[in-house]
Amino acid sequence: EPEVTQTPSHQVTQMGQEVILRCVPISNHLYFYWYRQILGQKVEFLVSFYNNEISEKSEIFDDQFSVERPDGSNFTLKIRSTKLEDSAMYFCASSEERKAKNIQYFGAGTRLSVL
């Protein structure tokens, strides 16, 4: 069964460093998303991406964040200068269409630990 894959599963970094989280969405999907989940809190939307541009972003997604689809298969989230409060699970999701159902499939996540 097709699935969303994310790498790495765990990323440890020093505060102020840049990190790139990688995702391979389901191959025929056109809409891509990043969410994050701070430990013990709800899953929060970060950004949605379609046709090589951002469709919507949340207040969390400030200038330190960027997304890119560098080729036909990868979808990346970059944090330029990590802060302690960026420590969280980051989930990539993809969907085939954005009609009423908007069914999104999630990857297993990358645990980001900022020290």
Q: Which is nearer to another protein, 14 or 101 (CB)?
A: 101
Q: How far is the CB of 33 from another protein (least distance, A)?
A: 7
Residues that bind another protein (CB under 8 A): 4, 6, 31, 33, 35, 42-45, 48, 50, 55-58, 89, 91, 93, 95, 98-109, 111
Nearest residue (CB) to another protein, 18 versus 68: 68
Residue 115 CB neighbours (<10 A): 10
Secondary structure E strands in 1-115? 5-7, 10-13, 19-24, 31-37, 44-50, 53-57, 65-68, 75-79, 88-95, 105-106, 110-114
Q: Which is nearer to another protein, 5 or 13 (CB)?
A: 5
Q: Which is nearer to another protein, 56 or 85 (CB)?
A: 56
Shortest Cβ 75–another protein spacing (Å): 15
Q: Which two tokens stand for residue 6?
A: 């994310």
Q: Could you tell me which residues are beta bridge partners of residue 34? A: 47, 92
Closest CA to 53 of 36, 31, 35, 72: 31
Residue 56 Cβ vs another protein, minimum distance, rounded to whole Å: 2
In the complex, least distance from residue 112 CB atom to another protein, rounded to whole angstroms: 13
